[in-house]
Amino acid sequence: MNAADRRYNLGARALHWTIAVLVIANLAIGLLHEPLEDSIDLIPVHEAIGITVLGLTLVRIAWRFTWKRPPFPGSVAPVEAWAARAVQGLFYVLTLALPLSGWVFASAGKYPISWFGIFTVPKFAVTRQDPIFGIAHEGHEIMGWVTIALVVLHVGAALRHHFLLKDNVLRRMM
């Protein structure tokens, strides 16, 4: 097997890193928007990044069906491979559900949802009195904290493989 067969393809790597940067930025904005709200309104940027993550995740899922992921190095135990796939699956779920929940509760707001000022995103027919509003709002916050925990776990595992185990797990995505 040549080196290219042991790596994710360029499209998968580009989508991974683009989504990763956007998710981390949006998690930071989500945590900082209230403390900074007197000086800057970060919510329009947060919403636009969320819509972008949702769109890119749909592209990534479609892309995933066009190729086979590279195998794990032989040094990866079956339980580690299972855990890695479980975390990857949770990331797919979260990068769909987190933006969707935000879109649902933002739809109940009085301001339009804008994609970086370029176009307006249609709103769902939701009001603040609808039960789905509270569920979406609370779920959005919980999923944000779960995503933070998974990012820490994912990065920690990748660094463990790279620096301690010195295998090719991290290099597959570089």
The tens-digit pLDDT sequence of the chain (174 residues) is 555 568 999 999 999 999 999 999 999 999 999 999 999 999 999 999 999 999 999 999 999 999 989 998 888 999 999 999 999 999 999 999 999 999 999 999 999 999 999 999 999 999 999 999 999 999 999 999 999 999 999 999 999 999 999 998 999 999
d(CA 121, CA 21): 22
Q: Specify the pTM.
A: 0.94
Q: Could you report the per-residue pLDDT of 61-70, keeping only the tens digit for each? A: 999 999 989 9
Handedness of CA 15, 54, 23, 170 (dihedral sign): negative
Written as one string, the DSSP assignment of 5-17 is GGS--HHHHHHHH
3-state secondary structure of 44: helix
Domain at 3-173, CATH from 1.20.950, 3.40.50, 1.10.287, 1.10.10: 1.20.950
149 Cβ neighbours under 8 A, 6+ residues apart: none
The secondary structure of residue 84, as a DSSP letter, is H
83 Cβ neighbours under 8 A, 6+ residues apart: none
The values of phi and psi at residue 119, to 5°, are -150, 160
Burial of 103 (0-12, 13-18, 19+ CB in 10 A): buried
**What are the CB-based long-range contacts (under 8 Å, 24+) for 57-62?**
57/19, 57/92, 57/95, 57/96, 57/99, 58/96, 59/15, 60/12, 60/15, 60/16, 60/19, 60/92, 61/92
Distance of CA 10 to the CA centre of its chain: 18
Tokens of 140: 């959005």
